[in-house]
Copies of this chain bind each other. A is one copy, B any other.
Amino acid sequence: MPDKTWTRIMEEARTLFSQQTYGGTSMQQIAQAVGITKASLYHYHAGKSAILSTLVRDPLVELERVLELASLRREREERRDDVLNGFARVMIAHRQTMGLLLRDGSVHGEQTAEIRDLFQVLIDRAMDVLSDGNTGWRRKLLAAQALGAVTDPVALFADVPADELHVELVRGAHAILALRHH
């Protein structure tokens, strides 16, 4: 069970990564923000990429859960709505952390490639659900635009109440998917 210091390390690291990018944050700065020595910090974690992995693990697990539950639905329409609403909910709840994956160019390299790949797999699975397994490029494009509408903008709206942001994100995605009937 995580102790208090562990929780504070995660919180301070997330804030610092968001403020000054992942690449621009040193272990020394994280230690200083928590109020412990750098040696104690390494006692808790293997390093900076391990902290990042821990931060994104929860949202990625939640996104996977969204896809699993959606796959149990009988109706296409229900699967699509589950994915749009689920992705919007998870992205908003973890908007600071997900902003690192979406907008921080320094989150890359071999150490973090695994995290990026994992996220990409979830995006691809969501695209499949939204395009109903239809392989035509037009349907795939609508799926990409709809999924982008509920995911990409979240990091730009740090202060908007979650429920209000949720409504608007999903509204944009639905407007795009409605085009498939034309």
Residues of A in contact, count (CB < 8 Å): 31
> What's the minimum C-beta distance from A111 to chain B, rounded to whole angstroms?
12
Beta-carbon nearest neighbor of A127 in chain B: B156
Q: Is the CB of A148 within 8 A of B138?
A: no
Of the candidates A109, A157, A160, A172, the one having the most CB atoms from chain B within 10 angstroms of its own CB is A172
Q: Is the CB of A172 within 8 A of B145?
A: yes
A28 adjacent to chain B (CB < 8 Å): no
Q: Is the CB of B172 within 8 A of A176?
A: yes
Q: Could you show 15 A-B contacts with beta carbons less than 8 Å apart?
A: A23-B109, A106-B108, A106-B109, A141-B165, A142-B168, A144-B153, A144-B156, A145-B152, A145-B172, A148-B148, A148-B152, A149-B149, A149-B176, A175-B175, A175-B178
Contact among B113, B116, B138, B171 with A179 in the assembled complex (CB-CB below 8 Å): B171
Chain A residues with CB under 8 Å of chain B are: 23, 105-109, 113, 116, 137-138, 140-142, 144-145, 148-149, 152-153, 156-157, 160, 165, 168-169, 171-172, 175-176, 178-179
Q: Is the CB of B179 within 8 A of A172?
A: yes
Q: Is the CB of A141 within 8 A of B116?
A: no
CA distance A176 to B148 in the complex (A): 12
> What's the minimum C-beta distance from A131 to chain B, rounded to whole angstroms?
12
Q: Is the CB of B108 within 8 A of A168?
A: no
Beta-carbon nearest neighbor of A143 in chain B: B153
Q: Which residues of B contact A116 (CB under 8 A)?
A: 105
Q: Which residues of B contact A144 (CB under 8 A)?
A: 152-153, 156
Q: Is the CB of A153 within 8 A of B157?
A: no
> What's the minimum C-beta distance from A108 to chain B, rounded to whole angstroms?
4
> What's the minimum C-beta distance from A115 to chain B, rounded to whole angstroms?
10
Contact among B105, B160, B171, B179 with A108 in the assembled complex (CB-CB below 8 Å): B105
